[in-house]
Amino acid sequence: MKVLVAVKRVIDYNVKIRVKADHSDVDLTNVKMAMNPFCEIAVEEAVRLKEKGVATEIVVVTVGPKAAQEQLRTALALGADRAIHVETDERAESLAVAKLLAKVVDEEQPGMVILGKQAIDTDNNQTGQMLAALTNLPQGTFASEVAVDDDKVHVTREIDGGLQTVALTLPAIVTTDLRLNEPRYAKLPDIMKAKKKPMDVKTPADYGIEVASRVSLLKVESPAERKGGVKVASVDELIDKLKNEAKVL
Amino acid sequence: MSILVLADVHEGQLAGATAHVVAAAKAIGGDIDVLVAGEGVQAAAEEAAKLDGVTKVRVADNAAYAHQLAEPMGGLLVELADDYTHVLASASTTGKNVLPRLAALKDVSQLSDVLAVDSADTFKRPIYAGNAIATVKSDDTLKVITVRTTGFDAVSESGSAPIEAVDVVVENSQSRFVKEELAQSDRPELGGAKVVVSGGRGMGNGENFKLLDGIADKLGAAIGASRAAVDAGFVPNDMQVGQTGKIVAPELYIAVGISGAIQHLAGMKDSKVIVAINKDDEAPIFQVADYGLVGDLFEILPELESKL
């Protein structure tokens, strides 16, 4: 079966972000960018499914600016077979991305689509679910285990309070949680080979989708700073402070 | 304005989160209906009817909604949503699973993890792991919103709203519940606890987490963990506090052997008082801690337990 994986270019998760002085957004100039960590897990899972003989082809797709092709090349170096880049410089909201991905699903007819559970920039946690709704496919969100069995996939999901397993009829949409797997690193020869793998470049207009946002970003602020605390010297002092100063005991 | 709140139900009981979501709905203003969906949820519906500010409770009690699977729940909400201007749910794993399906089916955007209401169409939400707060305005006719429960104080249980049955049944042949493995615990629920004691990689192993038990017992606290502790297999993942785990904002948060990575801070930095116990006095956790104690946790924890 063909597996489609969606990836997103985001600010590197180790970077401490800065809010622009005019509060219009977060400052992304000269900031290190990378593949969203949950997307790396999605690519890894697809590659493992291929190694098990379950997946026959891995197609990786992204919606974003030209620079996002770097992340597609990374996915190709990790084992994806070909890439689709839907190029747009607009701030694409989850719904627009889901609509574009739904068109790609229509065209490619994959047996499974794997996405990360959320992107660490917008922290939305929406796209996979929206894609499932738009394609009328079942969803296995926050997956920590994926097992394909004939025409079904068993997905173990991380839920509040523990784990839940659901059986979904294929084709299905799966979103990855952190513990699904440990992504591998791309090897140099694979990075070189990835440069020759096919990449289709499209635009939202090719799919007849408007990327314009429905939600306007009015202001971005830094969260309230916590005021500097004190170090205490002993357990007795700590208990005393908690009782008499902070009054939380 | 009329608002539909999707109740969180666990094993037939109403989860505490729902009272916080009703508080967010009150901040928006208008009639507030609560939808309780599941199998055998009559008791949960009666609990929901007591929540202050609720106009009526709608109950969809049917095997189709057992375990609140996303496919039938999305279908149910689509049927009901036309009567409302806002649909709200807590940003629990259920709310996050179900609401984006509704939003897409209604062709509207969703606002995730809203922590403050500016007006009926303008909200505040955290982005970049809580390192920035965005004020966003939705132009959609239907606002689909998940609520960060720690942003709103729970409403009281002084109401008595009428309960009515919803007879919509959504067929679902696409997904099937197989099993659930829930962690057993007598302690307060992590998300709602007044005190949280969390351990990190510094705890060394799972066995050492027992050192937190006595302290948690004395304080009536829930026990949490950092991602490092979960990944190392010390404790199960539902104990994880952070961007990708639970978001908590207790009165007192005690971080033991936790360095304080951005990812972890995103889950606890709205706590009222933060205490850090760490042997590394350079650990970033000390930058957010109100009280820091530098030292060996294996000596400090037993002493703390005995002196509390």
Identify the pLDDT of residue A225. Answer: 84
How high is the ipTM of this complex?
Answer: 0.94
- CA of A98: which chain B residue's CA is closest? B104
Pairwise CB contact (< 8 Å): A214 & B275: no
Q: Is the pLDDT of residue A217 over 90?
A: yes
Alpha carbons B191 and B2: distance in angstroms, whole number: 28
The string of pLDDT tens digits covering residues A133-153 is: 999 999 999 999 999 998 999
On the CB side of B92, CA atoms within 13 Å amount to 25
- Per-residue pLDDT band at A215 (split at 50, 70, 90): very high
Which residues make Cβ contacts (< 8 Å) with residue A188, sequence separation at least 6? none
The string of pLDDT tens digits covering residues B193-208 is: 999 999 999 999 999 9
Taking alpha carbons only, the member of B33, B131, B137 closest to residue A217 is B137
Q: What sign results for the dihedral spanned by CA atoms A209, A83, B70, B34?
A: negative
Q: Of residues A228 and B297, which shows the higher confidence score?
A: B297
Pairwise CB contact (< 8 Å): A239 & B122: no
Q: What sign results for the dihedral spanned by CA atoms B197, B200, B205, B206?
A: positive
Alpha carbons B75 and A124: distance in angstroms, whole number: 21
The string of pLDDT tens digits covering residues B29-41 is: 999 999 999 999 9
Pairwise CB contact (< 8 Å): B275 & A160: no
Instruction: Point out the least confidently predicted range of A53-62, A70-79, A154-163.
Output: A154-163
Residue with tokens 């939400």: B125
Under a CB-based contact definition with an 8 Å cutoff, are residues B154 and A139 in contact? no
Taking alpha carbons only, the member of B294, B79, B303, B67 closest to residue A161 is B67
Quick one: DSSP state of residue B40? S
Left if phi > 0, otherwise alpha if psi is -120 to 50, otherwise beta: which for A174? beta
Identify the pLDDT of residue B162. Answer: 97
Q: What percentage of chain B has pLDDT greater than the value 70? A: 100
- Confirm or reject contact between A134 and chain B (CB < 8 A): yes
Amino acid (1-letter code) at residue B33? D
- CA of A119: which chain B residue's CA is closest? B128
Alpha carbons B35 and B47: distance in angstroms, whole number: 12
Q: Is the pLDDT of residue B251 over 90?
A: yes
The DSSP element (H or E) to which B274 belongs, if any, is strand B273-278
Q: How far is CA A10 from the centre of its chain?
A: 9
Q: What percentage of chain A has pLDDT greater than the value 90? A: 90
B12 contacts in A (CB within 8 Å)? none
Mean pLDDT (chain A, rounded): 96
Alpha carbons B127 and B115: distance in angstroms, whole number: 11
Which residues make Cβ contacts (< 8 Å) with residue A221, sequence separation at least 6? A19, A23, B132, B133, B135
DSSP result, chain A: -EEEEE--EEE-TT----B-TTSSSB--TT--EEE-HHHHHHHHHHHHHHHTTS-SEEEEEEEE-GGGHHHHHHHHHHT--EEEEEE--S---HHHHHHHHHHHHHHH--SEEEEES--TTT----HHHHHHHHHT--EEEEEEEEEEETTEEEEEEEETTEEEEEEEESSEEEEE-GGG--PPPPPHHHHHHHTTS-EEEE-GGGGT-----SEEEEEEEPPPPPPP-EEESSHHHHHHIIIIIS---
Cβ burial, residue B16 (10 Å; 0-12/13-18/19+): middle
Quick one: DSSP state of residue B303? H
Under a CB-based contact definition with an 8 Å cutoff, are residues B128 and A121 in contact? yes
Under a CB-based contact definition with an 8 Å cutoff, are residues A73 and A18 in contact? no
Alpha carbons A71 and A217: distance in angstroms, whole number: 26
Helix orientation angle between B93-105 and B70-80, rounded to the nearest 10 degrees: 50
Q: Is the pLDDT of residue B180 over 80?
A: yes
Under a CB-based contact definition with an 8 Å cutoff, are residues A249 and A235 in contact? no
Taking alpha carbons only, the member of A196, A202, A197 closest to residue A81 is A197
CA distance B192 to chain A (A): 12
Predicted TM-score (pTM) of this structure? 0.94
Q: Is the pLDDT of residue A249 over 90?
A: no
CA distance A9 to chain B (A): 14
- Confirm or reject contact between A241 and chain B (CB < 8 A): yes
Residue range A61-90: mean pLDDT, rounded: 97
Contacting A residues, span 72-101, partner chain B, CB-CB under 8 Å: 93-95, 98
Q: Is the pLDDT of residue A219 over 80?
A: yes
Structure tokens at B304: 């703390």
Q: Is the pLDDT of residue A161 over 90?
A: no
CA dist list (Å): B21 to A161, A176, A206, B43, B113: 19, 27, 41, 19, 11
Residue range A57-78: mean pLDDT, rounded: 98
Q: Is the pLDDT of residue B308 over 80?
A: yes
CA dist list (Å): B73 to A90, B81, B104, B231: 32, 12, 13, 32
Identify the pLDDT of residue B244. Answer: 86
Residue range A84-108: mean pLDDT, rounded: 96
Q: Is the pLDDT of residue A228 over 80?
A: no
CA distance A72 to chain B (A): 22
B109 contacts in A (CB within 8 Å)? 93-95, 213-215
Q: What percentage of chain B has pLDDT greater than the value 90? A: 94
Mean pLDDT (chain B, rounded): 96
The string of pLDDT tens digits covering residues B52-109 is: 999 999 999 999 999 999 999 999 999 999 999 999 999 999 999 999 999 999 999 9
- Per-residue pLDDT band at A110 (split at 50, 70, 90): very high
Q: What sign results for the dihedral spanned by CA atoms B283, B285, B288, B293?
A: negative
Identify the pLDDT of residue A76. Answer: 98
Identify the pLDDT of residue B86. Answer: 98
Neighbour count for residue B134 (Cβ, 10 Å):
23
Taking alpha carbons only, the member of B6, B134, B133 closest to residue B58 is B6
Q: Is the pLDDT of residue B295 over 80?
A: yes
Taking alpha carbons only, the member of A191, A190, A40 closest to residue A116 is A40
What is the 3-class SS of A105-173, one letter each residue? Answer: HHHHCCCEEEEECCCCCCCCCCHHHHHHHHHCCCEEEEEEEEEEECCEEEEEEEECCEEEEEEEECCEE
Under a CB-based contact definition with an 8 Å cutoff, are residues B192 and B16 in contact? yes
- Per-residue pLDDT band at B189 (split at 50, 70, 90): confident
